[in-house]
């Protein structure tokens, strides 16, 4: 399906959803110093061809302007004429869409996701034991254990892509970049938001539990 075949209505719906999520996360202080990026996929999907709307690079994401988003293709190239630059991390979104066929990807930097990524860097994953909120990931087993993958954070974004490919676990809708932030995804914006919120809750819980165990 070419970009032109995707209805204007679907494109506008994606932009409206991105605007709402961006405002909500900004109000939570989740875009410190222009960090973070958001995307929503539009049109049909095959791993070889897809399109998505993504935040433009380097913007103050707490502001709403007419130049906040643009559409790109599966290679991260603009799908229409624009002077906007897609997020510097667009290739990570491309890889997550290619692997999952998901509908939305949200990336935020928070103090808890940074701290936890460094604390558990040696084991390359955050262990989570029996926390109720993993049900947000559709994991319903009693006292289930999960490991949330952590990958290296290189300045050269294309180097991060194969890390994401090899760390990807279809049961866990998120990957942490070391001392950087989390990528969370879902079938649509509602699910990606639910996953991101669950991850952030879990990171704070695990961090505080580790402190408590040490008498802090
Ligand atoms: C300004 S620090 C954050 C950036 O380096 C990057 O990690 C980030 O999340 C935002 O980049 P962007 O190109 O605006 O999508
Ligand atoms: Zn980032």
Q: Is the pLDDT of residue 120 over 90?
A: yes
Instruction: State if residue 1 touches ligand 1 by the CB under 6 angstroms criterion.
Output: no
Residue 152 banded pLDDT, cuts 50, 70, 90 = very high
Q: Which tens digits make up the pLDDT trace of 51-67?
A: 999 999 999 999 999 99
Residue 172 · residue 137 · CB < 8 Å: yes
3-state secondary structure 95-119: HHHHHHCCCEEEEECCHHHHHHHHH
Residue 77 · residue 61 · CB < 8 Å: no
Phi, psi dihedrals of residue 107, rounded to the nearest 5°: -125, 125
- Residue 58 CA to ligand 1 center (angstroms) comes to 6
Predicted local confidence at residue 1, as pLDDT: 83
Q: Is the pLDDT of residue 209 over 90?
A: yes
Q: Which tens digits make up the pLDDT trace of 124-137?
A: 999 999 999 999 99
Q: DSSP readout, 109-150?
A: --HHHHHHHHHTGGGTEEEEES-GGGGGGT--STT-EEEEEE
55-73 per-residue burial string, b: 16 or more CB within 10 A, e: under 16:
bbeebebeeeeeebbbbbe
Predicted local confidence at residue 129, as pLDDT: 95
Atom number in ligand 1 closest to CA 59: 14
Q: For the chain, what are the domain ranges?
A: 3-213
Predicted local confidence at residue 216, as pLDDT: 72
Instruction: State if residue 68 touches ligand 1 by the CB under 6 angstroms criterion.
Output: no
Give percent of the chain with pLDDT exceeding 70. Answer: 100
Distance CA 126, CA 103 (A): 25
Please determine, looking at this structure, whether the domain spanning 3-213 carries the CATH number 3.40.225.10.
yes
Calculate Rg over the CA atoms of the chain.
17
What's the average model confidence in pLDDT over 193-212?
98
Give the strands of the sheet with 125-129, arranged side by side.
Answer: 69-73, 49-55, 37-46, 104-108, 181-186, 174-177, 145-151, 125-129
Residue 212: strand, helix, or coil: helix
Predicted local confidence at residue 122, as pLDDT: 98
ipTM of the complex: 0.97
Give percent of the chain with pLDDT exceeding 90. Answer: 97
User: Which tokens sit at 75?
Assistant: 């290679």
Q: Which tens digits make up the pLDDT trace of 163-191?
A: 999 999 999 999 999 999 999 999 999 99
Residue 157 banded pLDDT, cuts 50, 70, 90 = very high
Predicted local confidence at residue 201, as pLDDT: 98
């Amino acid at each position: 399906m070419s970009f032109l075949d995707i209805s204007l209505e679907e494109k506008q719906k994606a932009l409206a959803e991105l605007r709402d999520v961006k405002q909500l996360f900004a109000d939570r202080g989740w875009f410190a110093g222009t960090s973070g990026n958001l995307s929503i996929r539009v049109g049909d999907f095959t791993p070889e061809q897809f399109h998505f709307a993504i935040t433009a690079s380097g913007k103050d994401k707490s502001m709403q302007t007419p130049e906040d988003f643009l559409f790109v293709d599966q290679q991260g190239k603009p799908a229409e004429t624009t002077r906007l630059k897609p997020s510097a991390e667009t290739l990570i979104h491309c890889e997550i869409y290619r692997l999952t066929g998901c509908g939305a990807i949200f990336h935020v930097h928070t103090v808890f996701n940074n701290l936890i990524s460094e604390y558990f860097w040696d084991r390359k994953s955050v262990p989570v034991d029996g926390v109720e909120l993993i049900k947000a990931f559709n994991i319903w087993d009693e006292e289930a254990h999960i490991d949330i993958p952590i990958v290296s954070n290189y300045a050269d974004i294309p180097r991060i892509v194969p890390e994401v490919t090899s760390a990807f676990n279809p049961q866990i809708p998120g990957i942490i970049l070391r001392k950087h932030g989390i990528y969370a995804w879902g079938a649509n914006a509602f699910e990606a938001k639910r996953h991101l919120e669950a991850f952030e809750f879990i990171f704070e819980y695990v961090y505080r539990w580790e402190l408590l165990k040490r008498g802090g």
